[in-house]
Amino acid sequence: MKPSRVEILKPAFGLEIEMAAIVPAQFRDDPVASVIAWTPLVKGGVTFRTRLLTQSEPGRCEFVATRGMMLAPFFMAGMAFFEAVLCVVVFKFLAGDAGMGELIEKGQYVPLIVLGSAPLGALFFLGVAAFFWHMTRRPIVFDRSSGYFWKGSKNPAEQTDPDRVVGCARLEQIAGLQILSEYVESRDSDGHTSQFHSYELNLVLRDAVRLIVVDHGNLAALRKDAAMLAEFLDVPVWDATLPTGR
């Protein structure tokens, strides 16, 4: 006899007790939500909305990059240029008419350090720009025709061994959607600290495995996308950001 969804989800007795201790009160009676972890899958986040859910065709939903996310690589590339120019200007101000050889002879290394930091800073910002460029063009897809969820360019259904594709899941294995909040504290190079909340949307599979879908700072938009996706998948949404009892 094929086991029920509840039976599939039940972990070892000790693990069930450990997980139950952190389950939000409004989900403790749910046979699925009560046996999964309720801590963020990924640390950190951003303050703006990075993705929005679209349905380009009846059987396909896809999270695409927002305009703000699309502009991020160009902003970071601009920062690389600005940082390089700033270092050159500061070098000229500190060095005056002295050349690099003269500065070395006089032991005046500060202007040289400033100039040397230009390519390092530019490379850092360009690296971040390349990362954002890659992320904005990485699709996040839910496709009924193939029966899979995946991130990236590889459709698992087109691979020789779909189960070896990292971060994918069969749509039939998705038991629900989970929304979590994380308090993020970040510090910039000047020592200034900023605090904000980032919100995570996760898939919950029938074997209690969780997969992150998106993570950004716009809770209202995330809830709207989660509701649309839940209808598409015909699964519940477990929103831990709602007050107990809702």
- How far CA 89 is from CA of 48, 110, 118, 126, 142, in Å, comes to 33, 13, 11, 20, 50
Q: Which segment, 3-7, 15-19, 45-49, 108-112, is predicted with the most confidence on average?
A: 45-49
Q: Please indicate, yes or no, whether the overall pTM of this predicted structure exceeds 0.85.
A: no
**Cα R_g (the chain), whole angstroms:** 24
Question: What confidence tens digit (pLDDT) does each residue in 1-35 have?
Answer: 333 333 334 443 333 333 433 788 888 888 888 88
Question: What confidence tens digit (pLDDT) does each residue in 77-107 have?
Answer: 888 888 888 888 887 878 777 777 777 777 7
∠ CA 73-74-75, nearest 5°, is 90
pLDDT at 221 over 90: yes
What pLDDT is stored for residue 109 in this prediction? 75
Q: What share of the chain is helix, strand, coil (3-state, %, to 5)?
A: 45, 25, 35
Which pLDDT band holds residue 192 (cuts at 50, 70, 90)?
A: low
Which pLDDT band holds residue 169 (cuts at 50, 70, 90)?
A: very high
Per-chain mean pLDDT for the chain: 80
Whole-angstrom Cα distance, residue 169 to residue 163?
A: 8
